[in-house]
Amino acid sequence: MGKTSFLLRILEYVNRSGYHTVSLNLQEQVDRAILSDLNRFLRWLCANVSRQLQLEPRLDEYWDEDIGSKVSCSLYLRNYVLEQIDSPLVLALDEVHQIFEHPQVAKEFLPLLRSWYEDAKRQPIWQKLRLIVVHSTEVYVPLQLNQSPFNVGLPIQLTCFSLDQVQQLAQRFELNWTDDEEARLLMDIVGGHPALVHLTLYHLSRGEVTLNQLLQNASTPKGIYYHHMQRHWATLQAQPELASALSIVMNATQPVKLEPVVAYKLSSMGLIKLDNNLATPSCRLYRQYFQPKCEISVR
């Protein structure tokens, strides 16, 4: 929820600060065939870093199969790229969870990111490199604690909007919400989900529909949230164990304890809230939409 927007604001700030920036999206900019091959992926990474910095790619001068692609990649960045620039380089990697689908590559690449962070403690040249790693789910490949790049640096987890934030956003959309009633109604249906709140306020600001009309059609094909929920449903259909677990949560009258990995996946999708490992639906919209669908799927 809002990860890429947040990343763009960070990059805008560092650009104004005079840093070099390279932004790579692992969902939109890299072929799956490359993403599944460590050597090709690291060469892709180095080539794109060079081109965005307007440096001539010189991969073959640094790539040596005898020392391996990870060392070759590190030497390329340290001895060529970082030596060529006079200010820090912010390397932003968006949609990094795409690599989790290729566990063998992930087990090599993610510790490599961690190694660059650790090298900066001993080698001043690596202090020029600043990493931003954006991902939407926990790493599902096993990594030792001292190899993971996700437990160092500054972790930031984006959360749902509060009631006050929804009110502030409504004011920016110039909606005449005189008290908290409308914001509470919206929070009740979408749970403060930033993208869904923004979508709602956008449609209300255009004067095409009232809040009551919008909420009445919320979970139907006529509703503005339908495509969002269809995308989630496609994911659930491809992973029946998630659909089965979600069905239990949606039909329960009390919080439910789920298997930890399943619980985290559903939480990462935003479909459930976790409190002391107990799951509840994250909002009424999801219960209305997914409860009947999950029941049919489980049967």
253 has a pLDDT exceeding 60: yes
Residue 55 — very low, low, confident or very high, per pLDDT cuts 50/70/90? very high
At 54, which amino acid appears?
Q
Q: Which is nearest to 86 in space by CA: 8, 153, 177, 18?
A: 18
Residue span(s) of the chain under CATH 3.30.370.10 come to 3-151
- Phi, psi (deg, nearest 5) at residue 24: -125, 130
* 11-40 confidence digits (pLDDT tens): 999 999 999 999 999 988 999 899 999 999
The residue written with tokens 């403060």 in the block is 192
CATH of region 227-298: 1.10.10
The pLDDT value given to residue 85: 94
Residues of the chain with CATH 1.10.10: 227-298
Q: What are 236-247's pLDDT values in tens digits?
A: 888 889 999 999
Provide CB contacts within 8 A for 244, sequence distance 6+: 294, 297, 298
Is the separation of the CB atoms in 181 and 188 below 8 Å? no
Read off the amino acid at residue 198: H
Helix (H, G, I), strand (E, B) or coil at 115: helix
Query: What's residue 148's pLDDT?
Result: 78
* Separation of alpha carbons 108 and 99, rounded Å: 11
Residues 71-91 pLDDT 10s = 999 999 999 999 999 999 999
CATH 3.50.50.60 for domain 3-151: no
Q: Please tell me the distance from the alpha carbon of residue 211 to that of residue 192, in angstroms, as a whole number.
A: 15
What's the confidence (pLDDT) of residue 297? 54
Query: What pLDDT digit, counting tens, does each position of 193-215 carry?
Result: 988 999 999 999 998 888 888 88
